[in-house]
Structure 1
């Protein structure tokens, strides 16, 4: 490992000229002077059996390596912008160096078979390089191996045999965020000197002793949840999605951290209930909304990191970067929906973490209002279903014991009469129906507008006509031989004698229901693309309004929470619209 001396010799003008030794050459001479005696010699017999196997790889975004058959033997890191622009050989060589340095405690006193898919790296690690930047890492690898008694046997393999390391190297850990150095300093001034950073990486650690998700060259350990938190005063900057786990473990371990004083000053009976907060906070929104906001926040994090913002600028975020982020969404979006989603995602995450949200800034709120105007599009609503169209469909499809057609007939008349959404139709179980002599009671367990999941009963009368929803449902349930626990609109299979319900109790899919709706009504409308399953709900509401049903009654029947939402479904007929001007007495 004297390549730096060779580089200096090559730079000489002639054999007779003096040579100025570089810092690297002097460092190599010093290294050999200190270590030559301890490594000068070799055992007569040396076992070539490897006790550890390591694979490493590098991509344009990061590096990774893993020890075979070792559960916690994974190292991973992300390149900086400057590092990602380096040559593939440089990245592959540095990957070997960083993976080795990260997991040397697991490889010490071992003979290691090391696989890489870069042939240049095999040569450089074995012999060195005439390029100074590559040689410095080759020397560093050699020093680590010598100091820790690691015998490195590096070998090239084709890329297709290195797929796992390649996959690991391409992982983008968007949860790897941190706080700014100024904020960390302010926290230390307020609470005391931090002894450990429990959730960090080599790029954003604020304390020399830190735990990371994967092994890093300077990480103290991985998976902070396997350590005991009660012995050290720690800095906690975890991924947003695991905040509840962190608070729970802090309570169990009686951990000392930024909130130490607040928790310890609580009475004992209250301190034991701190772990309840995370679960309660997550339930402040519906599960689907929470997932949507988490996706929106992760999208902001990815944009911030890719545009040069530090991990400490992500939460809490400043108003100006957020305004720029929303502006970038405006430029690429086809509607205001992504901008609105991003706005409320940021607001929610800041609120549940108890920090000031950038959405309270007038700059950000005005960008949101601008997005609504710029990306506004004329709403083209679908046509509403009418009783005449339903009647024509029924006359064409109804046949006794025809289970397939009776299913779409029932879905249509029930959706129309109950003002039901498609999701509500598909989630109905037979036990949700209670049949009475003059009406049907239908229980809707969950609904889009049922914010607190109280459920709602809908009453549907027996009409005595061919389109009577109650009679048609009774026939359908009897023909399908449905049990009380079966989904009402279940999947069916074709047999020699017609159709029967499937043994697996699952509702038909939305796509299947939509396709059957189109086939059922296509012959009876001029353009089926102007109709959808929501036409049933809108048609029922419009029929009720045009027939003089009081707003309060059909608003309750349709489970609308506001007048504007209800009015958006109603399409008044010509007679009702003309009645306004006719009543003026002109």
Structure 2
């Protein structure tokens, strides 16, 4: 081949290679350009879409007034956004549409059509349901899971919507007024009680004014923490192989499991708690004996022992399903829940893959709370479905009849007697408290007791019958119980039918602070109970008539009372009479014929004294714990077990001296008159006791415990408490310790004598007078809820105002001020009476005070001579020797006055005598004598400082008064 040919060939090859390279470069350039253009269009589309959403969020500021319009606007906005995307794709290249543009355009149009179709479906769903758009809201916001069937979702949404409609309707009904009058319009005066009062009773607590769903005592937990995850186990039976669901209480049970990272788990029913929950495994099986005792069926016993077996009609297909997407998206939650179930013993790890492995689902409610669910729908087709039917209200109306218990009992009143009215009070209340005629009746515990009484005693009362003898002859009465009650206390006694007093039946006592605030009827009825119970041994198997000056007592003892507290007392009295075979009746008498009982009710118990709690606490720490308070009452008892002089609520026995004290650590605070007997009883029975007595060395009981300057050997230890009942010792003890003085030091030993020296600053009588005055102030201010020590000046001024309103004299007001000042000084407090209000009230008391004149008739010499003539012969004396009188005992002022006045009335007739009648007689005789004594000598002899005081004791004679006219020398 020549050179030209070679050159030509090379040129052609070179041209071919060049053309090929140019073509390749062109193709590469076009390809790169196309891809870059496509990428640019995609980025532009994404940017336009994001910009569109930003513009939509920025421009969407309009607030709709109706929710339906807002939802429709949002839906149209979504459709418009999809149509805009399709338009953008079509407008991307007007000259040439790429395949990618067409696909994006079709996708946007398809999504827009889907939104329109979905909205049309929701409109039909809202229109077909009475709940309206509430069904749509529940359908869209509460899906069970991602793969749930649409039909099920619609059904559940419909159910939730109906339930919410009913709840809203109930809430609207709660605010309606059930009274027949119209609701009060709001005014300027605010209401004291908000809301309306519901009729009837609460079926939860039994109180009036609200219903069970609003009951404050009802604790409701709307969110259930119970898990009911079953387990499938392959069991081999004698006849065939079955897959049986077993819910057992042992750790060997296998079951339906969920799959989480190739680890199977077993769950039992459990209630999870936040702090250290207890496993419920084995609760029922531990009580299987009780189930057998009540006669449970064999099927129930089998379920308790072996667990519940699902009724499979066919063998489910072996399958291992994967967990739902929701479980895969929440791995931490699933792991934590499985760990909780394992810790409770409700889940165990399986070594082999079970026959059926069902998937786990994590469901989320509207509040965002997650729940772990085991989806067992795969085995539903293999279960046998039992059909059953509940009885409806129509069947219940035929099966049950309304009880007519109260009506039947009232119709039997001629046979049973007044016990019918007495024992149907609470049943009538339940009937009256019902909402309507056809509503249910709430049975209170008191009503239940009445129904049980008639169930147990109807036959016996029917055989006894009513006492028809009342129609023809009078009732035989053995004893009469007279009683009365006042604001301070109660009293009563028992007399025979003939009018003779029954010895040892007098009863009297005081009310405590709370009892004084009860009504007069309660006090009268409670007085009957206490007097009766205190003399129960004397009225057993007797016919007793209660005599009272209160007509309500007579009525209540016969037929009961509408007030529960009064009816309970009446029932207690009637039951006690039945147990003691006492025939009870009642009668009314006027108040002027019940004077003796009235005096007893105002008598009070002078021996009823006690100690303060800080003393008890100190002695109980040293010699306790004490177990029995032998001398107490319901209002001053120190321990749960106590004895009382007369019967009262809570006492274990009456008359502690008749009981045996051995075996108890006795707390003894006896009346002074019983101290000697108490000491002898303790020594005789060798009882363990703490005895609190006054340090009265001249008393008869002192030689029994103290001989030759020391206590007897039976006294193990003793303590002295000094003071006058005003907490001075305790306060001084606290002040000394607060000052830094250590107990046991020399300074602490000196503190014991401070109280004695402080009390010596006033005479003994003055200290007693101030102490009693302060205790009156203390009772008054404590009842009002304030402190007596230290006192507030304004409180003292109010106390003085009360004294002035009650007609107190100036001396009474001054005594109140001085006693408060004195006690505050003893306790180291500043003087609260140094106040302008207190001082002005004292001045007011002086100006308002009216002088009281209580002149007694004078005793003349003729009267004394006549009285001596009556007792000049010793034959008039009943006995020539006087009764033994202790040297340390003197006649009291009141006894001397009563003896003297009674004897003067024998010669003075209807004159008003007193102890000052002797001074008045002497002064009158001296002033009316022929040789009259001078005023100065008369005042000196009678120790009168003023003429007005002297003149009150002188009764001028008629002669002296006529001498005044004679001295005027009228013609």
Q: How high is the TM-score relative to the length of structure 1?
A: 0.50
Per the alignment, residue 545 of structure 1 pairs with none
Per the alignment, residue 31 of structure 1 pairs with 453
Per the alignment, residue 51 of structure 1 pairs with 478
Task: Choose from 128, 135, 156 the match for 2:560.
Answer: 128
Per the alignment, residue 63 of structure 1 pairs with 490
Deviation at 1:532, TM superposition (A): 6.4
1:317-373 CA distance string (max 9 Å, x none): 9853699889957986635996499859x99xxxxxxxxx87632327786999999
Q: Is the 8 A contact 1:102 1:219 kept in 2?
A: no
User: Residue 73 of structure 1 aligns to a residue in which SS?
Assistant: coil
1:368-416 CA distance string (max 9 Å, x none): 999999979xxxxxxxxxxxxxxxxxxxxxxxxxxx9xxxxxxxxxxxx
Task: Choose from 615, 628, 641 the match for 1:196.
Answer: 628
User: Residue 41 of structure 1 aligns to a residue in which SS?
Assistant: helix
Change (3 A) 1:134 1:220: closer
Per the alignment, residue 320 of structure 1 pairs with 790
Per the alignment, residue 167 of structure 1 pairs with 599
Which stretch shows the higher mean deviation, 510-519 or 320-329? 320-329
Alignment of 1:489-500 (within 5 A): none
Per the alignment, residue 469 of structure 1 pairs with none
Per the alignment, residue 361 of structure 1 pairs with 827
Task: Choose from 168, 178, 184 the match for 2:616.
Answer: 184
Deviation at 1:153, TM superposition (A): 1.5
Deviation at 1:79, TM superposition (A): 3.7
| 2-structure distance, mates of 1:274, 1:166 | 45
Deviation at 1:9, TM superposition (A): 1.9
| 2-structure distance, mates of 1:507, 1:147 | 58
| 2-structure distance, mates of 1:3, 1:532 | 75
Deviation at 1:166, TM superposition (A): 1.9
Change (3 A) 1:511 1:140: same
Deviation at 1:5, TM superposition (A): 0.8
Deviation at 1:152, TM superposition (A): 0.9
User: Residue 509 of structure 1 aligns to a residue in which SS?
Assistant: helix
Change (3 A) 1:67 1:364: farther
* 2:246 equivalent to 1:246: no
User: Residue 636 of structure 2 aligns to a residue in which SS?
Assistant: coil
Alignment of 1:476-491 (within 5 A): none
Deviation at 1:535, TM superposition (A): 7.4
> Where do 5+ consecutive residues of structure 1 fail to align?
348-356, 377-403, 405-490, 492-505, 537-586
Deviation at 1:23, TM superposition (A): 2.6
Change (3 A) 1:266 1:531: closer
Task: Choose from 919, 923, 931 the match for 1:510.
Answer: 919
Deviation at 1:25, TM superposition (A): 0.8
Q: Is the 8 A contact 1:326 1:339 kept in 2?
A: no
Per the alignment, residue 12 of structure 1 pairs with 434
User: Residue 30 of structure 1 aligns to a residue in which SS?
Assistant: helix
Deviation at 1:150, TM superposition (A): 2.4
Deviation at 1:226, TM superposition (A): 6.8
Q: Is the 8 A contact 2:492 2:506 kept in 1?
A: yes
> Where do 5+ consecutive residues of structure 2 fail to align?
1-422, 496-500, 696-701, 725-755, 844-860, 862-903, 905-914, 946-971
Per the alignment, residue 542 of structure 2 pairs with 110
Deviation at 1:205, TM superposition (A): 1.0
Change (3 A) 1:222 1:131: closer
| 1-structure distance, mates of 2:589, 2:503 | 23
What is the root-mean-square deviation in Å for CA atoms of aligned residues? 5.7
| 1-structure distance, mates of 2:658, 2:840 | 51
Task: Choose from 271, 275, 284 the match for 2:711.
Answer: 271
Q: Is the 8 A contact 2:544 2:583 kept in 1?
A: yes
1:154-175 CA distance string (max 9 Å, x none): 2222222222222222234465
Q: Is the 8 A contact 1:75 1:216 kept in 2?
A: no
Q: How high is the TM-score relative to the length of structure 2?
A: 0.32
| 1-structure distance, mates of 2:812, 2:578 | 60
Per the alignment, residue 572 of structure 2 pairs with 140
Deviation at 1:126, TM superposition (A): 1.4
| 2-structure distance, mates of 1:178, 1:213 | 14
Deviation at 1:91, TM superposition (A): 3.1
User: Residue 603 of structure 2 aligns to a residue in which SS?
Assistant: coil
Task: Choose from 617, 637, 650 the match for 1:205.
Answer: 637
| 2-structure distance, mates of 1:176, 1:309 | 20
User: Residue 113 of structure 1 aligns to a residue in which SS?
Assistant: strand
Deviation at 1:57, TM superposition (A): 2.0
User: Residue 620 of structure 2 aligns to a residue in which SS?
Assistant: helix
Q: Is the 8 A contact 2:509 2:604 kept in 1?
A: no
| 2-structure distance, mates of 1:372, 1:518 | 42
| 2-structure distance, mates of 1:526, 1:340 | 37
* 2:526 equivalent to 1:94: yes
Deviation at 1:119, TM superposition (A): 2.4
Change (3 A) 1:247 1:111: closer
Change (3 A) 1:171 1:533: closer
Alignment of 1:230-245 (within 5 A): 232-238=664-670, 242=672
Change (3 A) 1:41 1:522: farther
